[in-house]
């Protein structure tokens, strides 16, 4: 393989090489050792990439792997743990091993893998991903055929991937956004800083360039495709953005509380009870976007009745009436 071809190798291949290298060492590898020995970084170094560029690439890769559930451990100086100049990195092998008192039959392993295959990576918690890695690391063979239909469950919106790429490359994005209460979408330009999940929905937090202020947008309200521009922004702006976004969303939700009457034993009861607090008058649930929440409640049909606020109740009733008219009923 030529140097040019190596430089064009997929980032995914570099990530795999990094994981393999970090799993193969007990003592850990220094950043310099990684940049000069791990395939993907080594070729970039040999082709003249600066040390600063390589270190930024490594930091991005490290964060990407952690988001995927790969536990990268940082080992600092024993005398001064905060001194990371000579830090070593490794993936603890214990994270890929089940406790000695736990075992599974081949059929159980197959079923657990099938269950794990249902969930897209975006909807799995770090603990779930870690458990699935350990199960697959057993290497048990399945001695009986299991035919299963394993649908992929993903909580991501179509715009998720492009926005994630823009965050990682620190590039400005442009998209059309339908704001609550408005009939037409407006073009937004922003520096995307973080993707956060709240109320089982994805949001992008960043700096709205037209408003010159930090804003959080619901991905479900983005219409059309997202354009990732060539305009770069300072990567340091991403620090703490996710925490700020979640804090802002919680503040909004705290000001919007719905009181719902839910029929017991229904799907609505199962789903909504997890997110709310049961009281004498029903279930209290906080929400961020009234229109989106109304869509969700209307989908449960007669299983849910909104007591308060009146604006939410009216929105749900309007959706139910529209559905009735669509199917030839009388409002």
Better-scored residue on pLDDT, 118 or 28: 28
Q: Tell how far CA 159 is from the center of its chain.
A: 12
What Rg, from alpha-carbon coordinates, does the chain have? 24
With b for 16 or more beta-carbon neighbours within 10 A and e for fewer, the 46-78 pattern comes to: eeeeeeeebeebbeebbebbeeebbbbeebeee
CB contact at 8 A, 43 and 50:
no
**Burial degree of 197 (CB within 10 A; 0-12, 13-18, 19+):** middle
Distance from C-alpha of 322 to C-alpha of 330, rounded to nearest angstrom? 10
Express each pLDDT in 93-122 by its tens digit: 665 555 566 666 666 655 555 555 544 444
Q: 278 forms bridges with which residues in the sheet? A: 283
Count the neighbouring beta carbons within 10 Å of the beta carbon of residue 5.
9
The whole-number average pLDDT for the span 124-135 is: 49
Band the pLDDT of 144: cuts 50, 70, 90.
very low
**Burial degree of 330 (CB within 10 A; 0-12, 13-18, 19+):** exposed
| pTM score of the predicted model | 0.52
* Whether residue 307 has pLDDT greater than 70: yes
Count the neighbouring beta carbons within 10 Å of the beta carbon of residue 270.
11
Distance from C-alpha of 315 to C-alpha of 318, rounded to nearest angstrom? 5
Q: What domains, with CATH codes, occur in the chain?
A: 3-95 (1.10.10), 160-239 (2.30.30), 256-326 (no CATH)
Express each pLDDT in 203-227 by its tens digit: 999 999 999 999 999 998 999 899 9
Express each pLDDT in 33-56 by its tens digit: 888 888 888 888 888 888 888 888
CB contact at 8 A, 281 and 259:
yes
Token duo for residue 313: 């109740």
Q: Are strands 88-90 and 29-30 parallel, antiparallel or unpaired?
A: antiparallel
pLDDT confidence of residue 317: 93
Backbone torsions φ then ψ of 142, nearest 5 degrees: -95, 120
The residue count of the chain comes to: 331
Distance from C-alpha of 35 to C-alpha of 18, rounded to nearest angstrom? 10
């Amino acid at each position: 393989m030529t140097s040019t071809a190596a430089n064009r190798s997929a980032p995914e291949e570099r990530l795999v090489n990094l994981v393999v290298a970090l799993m193969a060492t007990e003592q850990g590898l220094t950043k310099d050792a990684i940049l000069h020995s791990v395939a993907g970084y080594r070729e970039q170094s040999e082709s003249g990439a600066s040390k600063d560029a390589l270190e930024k690439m490594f930091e991005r890769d490290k964060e990407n792997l952690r988001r995927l559930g790969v536990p990268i451990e940082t080992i600092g100086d024993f005398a001064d743990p905060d001194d990371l100049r000579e830090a070593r990195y490794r993936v603890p092998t214990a994270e890929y091993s089940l406790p000695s008192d736990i075992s599974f039959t081949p059929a159980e392993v197959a079923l657990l893998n099938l269950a794990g295959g249902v969930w897209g990576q975006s909807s799995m918690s770090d603990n779930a991903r870690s458990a699935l890695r350990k199960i697959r690391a057993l290497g048990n063979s399945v001695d009986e055929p299991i035919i299963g239909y394993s649908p992929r469950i993903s909580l991501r919106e179509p715009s998720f991937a492009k926005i994630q790429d823009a965050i990682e490359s620190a590039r400005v994005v442009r998209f059309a956004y339908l704001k609550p209460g408005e009939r037409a979408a407006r073009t937004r330009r922003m520096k995307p800083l973080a993707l956060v999940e709240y109320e089982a929905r994805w949001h992008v937090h960043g700096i709205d360039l037209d408003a010159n202020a930090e804003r959080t947008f619901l991905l479900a309200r983005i219409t059309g495709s997202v354009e990732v521009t060539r305009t770069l922004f300072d990567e340091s702006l991403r620090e703490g953005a996710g925490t700020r976004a979640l804090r802002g969303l919680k503040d909004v939700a705290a000001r919007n509380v719905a009181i719902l009457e839910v029929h017991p034993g229904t799907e609505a009861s199962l789903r909504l009870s997890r997110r709310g607090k049961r009281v004498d008058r029903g279930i209290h649930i906080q929400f961020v976007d009234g229109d989106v929440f109304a869509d969700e409640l209307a989908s449960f049909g007669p299983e849910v009745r909104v007591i308060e606020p009146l604006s939410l109740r009216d929105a749900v009733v309007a959706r139910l009436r529209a559905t009735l008219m669509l199917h030839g009923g009388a409002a």
